[in-house]
Each structure stands twice: as structure tokens, then as C-alpha cells.
Amino acid sequence: MGGDSISGPEACQGKGSPDMPRYPLVFFDLDGTLADSRPGIVAAVRHALGRMGREAPPDGDLTRFIGPPITRSMRMFCGMSEADARAAYGHFREHYQAAGIYDQALYPGVPEMLDGLAAAGARMAIVTGKITRNADEAARFLGLAPRFALVAGSELDGARQDKADTIRYALDRLDPERRLPAVMGGDRDLDILGARGAGVGSVGALWGYGPRAELEAAGAGWLAASPLDLLAYLAAEA
């Protein structure tokens, strides 16, 4: 593990046995961490804004929609009311489920990272702000499903809109007695803040959509320059 590829002040979250990785439970965000899903999401946002009679901002600005719940982004970035944001999300979902979900690809190094973590004995889960059904389909399309013990997302009824709640849900499913150190890897501040809220470690993925400053401001425990750098840290024995 070289120089500045992984950095930060956070100590290990507890100790495992000598033959256990530093974090036996590893949670990953999906968009911007495992997969470059920008093309499909941006196209769906453009579709939704068009259906709402609004002009879409430049593509660079639309990157802000990747990560947070779409309804929240519609309110924050487009000034929509709650009702309009829900309507826009309906338009987003129809386009995304039909086409956008298939317009994404894994980042280089992600399969090797996941295989390395599995070989080290880690159990892994996808923990995302996406609707669980969409996350399941994305994981299947990307060939990720067999590598993960759980895919946890939000629900259409409003459940688990907060990342910390989704992380706690994953912990309840995989380690209900909270015996194992766990870590959340993600590219946006919501991932880091969610990890802090749920009491688990955090790693910021610098190859994703969130800039270093955003991850540092959120309090990321470590910053990884690439999936293989992240593997080197997470798979190290405690």
C-alpha cells in the first residue's frame, strides 16, 4: 500500500482473530463505488425533468444527482415541492428501470477487490440509497449478486431513506449481536455520514463522484485511491 493512496486518522474498529481481515463485514455503496452508473442515471434525470416541463442543467451539474435519493435532489437542486419531487421520481424510475439500469459498468479493479476480500474471509453487502429492487437488478446485471450476502436499499414506502438506517438494517441481518468490526465504503458524504451514524468504520472511494474535500469534510476514516488500494487496507489482518 503506497504513500497517499490510503490515508486518514481512524483506528481499527476493534480486533478480529489473527486469521480474520481487519473488517470481517464490508459494506459497499453501489453508484460511484462499485459501478460507474453515471450515464444511466443522468439520462433518467434528464427524462424526468423533461416530463416535468423543466430544462435540464448541463451534464456536469447532473452528477450531483448520483448518490442522494432522487426526490431529495429534485428538491435541493431544482427547487421542487415535495409533491413535484415525487412525481419527478416516478418519471425517473420509469426510464431508469427500462433502460438506465443497464447503462453502467464496473470500475476497473472492482472484481479483483471483491475476490480478494472474499478470499480474506470478509462477508460483503451492497448498501445503497437505490430502491432495493433496482439495486438487486443492477447487481444481477453487473454480475455482482453471487459475491454479496445481502443487497440493502431503500423502499418505495419511504423505509430506509437515511444511509445510517440502511447500514443498521444490514448489520441486523448479518451481525445482529454486533460482534464483528464493520466498515462502509462509499464515494459520497452520505456514505461516510451514514457509517458514522451507524457506528461503523468508513472508507472514502476517491475514484467515484465525490471529491476528496467532500469525503474529508464528512469525516472519512480512510481515503482509497483505487479499488486495489482499498483491498490492501481492508483485507489486512487485524
**pTM for this prediction:** 0.85
Q: Domains of the chain, with CATH numbers?
A: 17-36+105-234 (3.40.50.1000), 38-102 (1.10.150.240)
Please write the tens of the pLDDT for every residue from 173-217.
999 999 999 999 999 999 999 999 999 999 999 999 999 999 999
Identity at 132, one-letter amino acid code: T
Is 29 catalytic? The answer is yes
Decide: 8 and 195 in contact? Cβ < 8 Å. Answer: no
Greatest extent of the chain over all pairs of C-alpha atoms, in Å: 59
The rounded distance, in Å, linking the Cα atoms of 113 and 128 is: 18
Determine which one of 29, 31, 36, 229 is catalytic.
Answer: 29
Please write the tens of the pLDDT for every residue from 45-63.
999 999 999 988 887 788 8
